[in-house]
Structure 1
Amino acid sequence: MDEIQHRFIEVQGLKLHVAEIGAGLNAVVFLHGFPEIWYTWRHQMVAAAKAGFRALAPDYRGYGLSDPPPEPEKASFKDIVADFISILDALSINKVFVVGKDFGARPAYLLAALHKERVRGVVTIGVPLLPPSPPKYHEYLPEGFYISRWQQPGRAEADFGRLSAKSVVRNVYTLFSRSDIPIAAEGQEIMDLVDESTPLPPWFTEEDLSTYGALYEKSGFCTALQVPYRSFWEEFAITDPIVKVPAMLIMGEKDYVLKFPGIEDYIRSGKVNEFVPDLEVVFLPEGTHFVPEQSPEVVNQLLLAFLNKHLG
């Protein structure tokens, strides 16, 4: 990955890190989820650049090498969207394809809704566009549901604080690559759901883990817990919820997100197409929540086919 370059762009007084490769006129921006950073997209960035695209992957404010906001507890999805537009302006990029993984799907679709003149198409992985009034999953799942736990100020901080940043990332990658929703029992914390002896997924190396661990050691988890987990119910002034650009959703058949109440039916029934009419849905039979890293060649082929199809 030595060919990937790194730069810092000042936005609202913060130095935001952007990884970049390729010099094509057609740009693709990759938006990560949690516990991810720009490095999540290493395979896709190299493939896109080789295919003639300019590939960029920012670390959100408070993630990876980007500066933390002065008040992490006030960070929001609005910040991610505003930072993204500022980065494009600083780089003199007018219009892009946006690829979002995990909670990165939300800012990807927010950009298509709020700044449609800047977006050529959207690809999301692991999470579809949710309806304007999404289900409140915590009302249907036990108290130990990981999102419910992490929304409680101080709860995840105490849980994570018992371990090194590297161990937290190891546990989350191990836990979230399974097909069941992470739910802790009463008196148990989310980090307790993983035994220390459990091996890493075969597609995630110790070198990968060390890279993630070092970057989360730098950034900590304060902003990462605020966005997305404590910003879920943030409101946006979206007058038209229908996405007007071409889109693709890539889902692993073994992704735990499919077990969120109503999600699989929402996707398979075509209900999601009411909000994203020009949507292509692809299911990967062995795919988990981390398919860009688990099956990079398959994801790269799908991604490049979509990009080339919608270049015009």
Structure 2
Amino acid sequence: MENIKHSHVEVRGLKLHVAEIGSGPKSVLFLHGFPEIWYTWRYQMIAVANAGYRAIAIDFRGYGLSEQPSEPEKGTMYDLVDDIVALLDSLSISKVFVIGKDFGAFPAYLVAVLHPERVITVVTLGIPFLVPGASAVQNHLLPKGFYITRWQEPGRAEADFGRFDVKSVIRNIYILFSGPEVPIAPDDQEIMDLFNPSTPLPPWFSEEDLATYASLYEKSGFKFPLQVPYRSIKVESGINDPKVTVPALLIMGEKDYVIKFPGIEEYIRSGAVKNFVPDLEIIFVPEGTHFVHEQLPEEVNQLIISFLDKQSI
């Protein structure tokens, strides 16, 4: 970890925190989800660097050590897409391998759709190709206590999270979201109430890891993370007939709760996702949870590196 270098790069008027290791002409850009940060890719960054790639992981705007936008309540996924393209320009990277986890899959795929000339391949973990908009998440097919529905309601998550310190919020979410069931709260409870205080951290997530995440969210807070992705996910893309023309890999844990979102498992297993991503390889990891890259890093690293090595610049 001590070999990972940190810097800030000015992108579209904001300084984004960039973590980097490795060198060479082949660059891999890692995009985190929530409640994650650049650090979520610690194992993958070192592995791809050792395999001869330049590994770059960022904190999205409004997250961790990156600067906050002046109007976070107006943020959308497309701000992240524009940031990514501008970052590549700033780093003089013409084409890149993009890897996105959780909601990081959205901008990963959107860069490939909108700027295919900048992307060599896309790898996503936990989320298949989906376009932001009203149909991206079928909230209406889940109970009203569905965590995304709750977090989309202005002020509700802020009040829920605000009852705890930041470290407890991250601990609760990591434990809840590493399980196989979709987090859904009863009418008389909030999402944080689903957490059982006697439940230990997953064995693959240490107290040191938790402290690192907490320190970064203590700096950034949750204002922008609640806006992007949750409160902006329904913003329509305006993209007609989106297609990902580059090779892509989807890694899904069999025990990832996202598989239980309405229609998601059928969308993946039936191959319907290939209507949008024709050159897609799909790999299911039997014991994998939503945090499969931290839970089973050696297995995921091997899958990623094997896939990257098959592609040519």
TM range (shorter): over 0.9
Shift of 1:176: 0.2
Output the amino acid matched with 1:67. Answer: E
Closer, same or farther in 2 for the Cα pair 1:236/1:180, shift >3 Å? same
Indicate the residue corresponding to 1:197 in structure 2.
Answer: 198
| Deviation at residue 240 of structure 1 after TM alignment | 3.8
TM score, norm. by length of structure 1: 0.98
SS at match of 2:232: coil
CA distance in 2, matches of 1:167, 1:230: 23
Residue aligned with 1:230, SS: helix
Task: Name the structure 2 match of 1:154.
Answer: 155
> Aligned partner of 2:11: which letter?
V
Following superposition, the deviation at residue 239 of structure 1 comes to 3.5
Partner in structure 2 of residue 311 of structure 1:
312
Once the two structures are TM-superposed, the CA of residue 13 in structure 1 deviates from its matched residue by: 2.2
- The answer to whether the Cα contact below 8 Å between 2:112 and 2:122 also exists between their aligned partners in 1 is yes
| Equivalent-residue separation in structure 1 for 2:228 and 2:95 (angstroms) | 25
- Over 3 Å counting, the alpha-carbon distance change for 1:63 and 1:136 in structure 2 is closer
Residue equivalent to 1:130: 130
Q: What are the within-5 Å matches in structure 2 for residues 98-113 of structure 1?
A: 98-113=98-113
Query: For residues 31-56 of structure 1, what are the alpha-carbon distances to aligned partners after superposition, in whole Å with 9 as ceiling and x for unaligned?
Result: 00000000000000000000000010
Equivalent in the alignment of 2:209: 208
Task: Give the 5 Å matches for 1:87-98.
Answer: 87-98=87-98
Query: Which residue is equivalent to 1:78?
Result: 78
Which residue in the other structure is 2:59 paired with?
Answer: 59
C-alpha displacement of 1:275: 0.8
* 2:230 equivalent in structure 1: 229
Paired amino acid for 1:24: G
Contact persistence 1:131–1:275 (CA under 8 A): no
Describe the shift of the 1:54–1:135 C-alpha distance in structure 2 as closer, same or farther (beyond 3 A).
closer
Output the CA distance in 2 between the equivalents of 1:198 and 1:103: 26
**Deviation of the 1:98 alpha carbon:** 0.3
Q: Partners in 1 of 2:206 and 2:131 — Cα distance? A: 36
Distance 1:131 1:215 in 2: 29
Residues in 2 aligned to 1:45 and 1:212: alpha-carbon distance in whole angstroms: 17
Letter in 1 for 2:287: E
| Distance in 1 of aligned mates of 2:163 and 2:67 | 24
Shift in Å, 1:196: 1.6
Conservation of the 8 A alpha-carbon contact between 1:63 and 1:219: yes
Q: Which moved more, 1:192-201 or 1:152-161?
A: 192-201
Q: 1:131 to 1:154 in 2, by over 3 A?
A: closer
- The one-letter code sitting in structure 2 at the alignment partner of 1:88 is L
Contact 1:132/1:241, CA 8 A, preserved across alignment: no
Give how far 1:86 is off: 1.1
Report the secondary structure of 1:24's partner residue.
Answer: coil
Which amino acid in the other structure matches residue 292 of structure 1? H
Per the alignment, residue 280 of structure 2 pairs with 279
